[in-house]
Homo-oligomer: A and B are copies of this chain.
Amino acid sequence: MKLYDGGRAPNPRRVRIFLAEKGIAVPSEQVDLGKMAHKADAYTAVNPLQRLPALVLDDGTVITESIAICRYFEAEQPKPALFGTGAKQIALIEMWQRRLELNLFVPVAQVFRHTHPAMKDFEVPQVPAWGEANRPRVTDFLHLLDRELSNRRYAAGDELSVADITGLIAIDFMKPGKLTVPPEMTNVLRWHAELSARPSASA
C-alpha cells in the first residue's frame, strides 16, 4: 500500500489528519506540487485527473478523492468512528462534511485559485470575477456555522468527525486567499482553536 502525498496542499493534509486521528501509519511518497510533478507522466498514470492524494492498494487498485481514501480506512478500522454510527449520526456527519466542503472549502479555494497571482498556472483560465463572487459566500456560511456551533462542541455533534477535519483544512486555507474569520465569530474561533490544538493538526 502506498499513499501519494502532496505536502502542504489542503486535501493531502485532510487525509494525514484523518490517519493521525485513527492512529494509522501508511507508507507514502511525496509528489511535488510546486514542481508540477502531479502533471508529469509518472503521476498521471496513477491518477489521470492529476490531483492529490491517491492511495494505491496492494492489488494495484487506485483510490483517489481524499474522502474516499478516508472511507477506505474507516471501513478497515472502524474505531474511532469518524463517519459516525447509526443512520441519524451517519447522515448528520455526511451533511456537515458536505456543507463544510461545498459551502466553505470550495468557495475559499475559488477565491484563492482565481485571485492569487501564484495560482495562474494551476487554475486556467483564472476568472477573477468568479473568485470575488465567492468572498461573500465564505462569510455567509461562517455566520451559519457560528450559530450552529453555539450549542455543540463539533460540527456534527458532541464527537469529533471527518466534518471537523474538512472544516479545519478549510479555515486554514483562508490565509493564502487573504480571508479571515471575523473576531465576532467566537464559536467558530473556539472550535478552530480546539481542532488546531489536537496533535493530528500538525500531521
Given contacts A86-B75, A88-B72, is CB(A64)–CB(B127) below 8 Å?
no
Distance in Å: Cβ of A83 to nearest Cβ of chain B: 9
Chain B residues with Cβ under 8 A from A76's Cβ?
A: 87
Chain B residues with Cβ under 8 A from A71's Cβ?
A: 87, 90-91, 94
Chain A interface size, under 10 / 10 to 19 / 20 to 34 / 35 or more: 20 to 34
Given contacts A95-B63, A127-B129, A133-B125, is CB(A72)–CB(B48) below 8 Å?
no
One of B67, B91, B103, B130 near A69 (C-beta < 8 A):
B91
Report which residue of A55, A94, A98 has the largest number of chain B beta carbons within 10 angstroms of its beta carbon: A94
Contact B88 A144 (CB under 8 A): no
Distance in Å: Cβ of A53 to nearest Cβ of chain B: 12
* Interface of A toward B, CB cutoff 8 Å: 48-49, 55, 57, 61, 63-65, 67-69, 71-73, 75-76, 86-88, 90-92, 94-95, 98-99, 103, 125, 127, 129-130, 133, 144
A-B contact pairs, 8 of them (CB 8 A): A63-B91, A63-B92, A67-B98, A69-B91, A71-B91, A75-B87, A76-B87, A130-B130
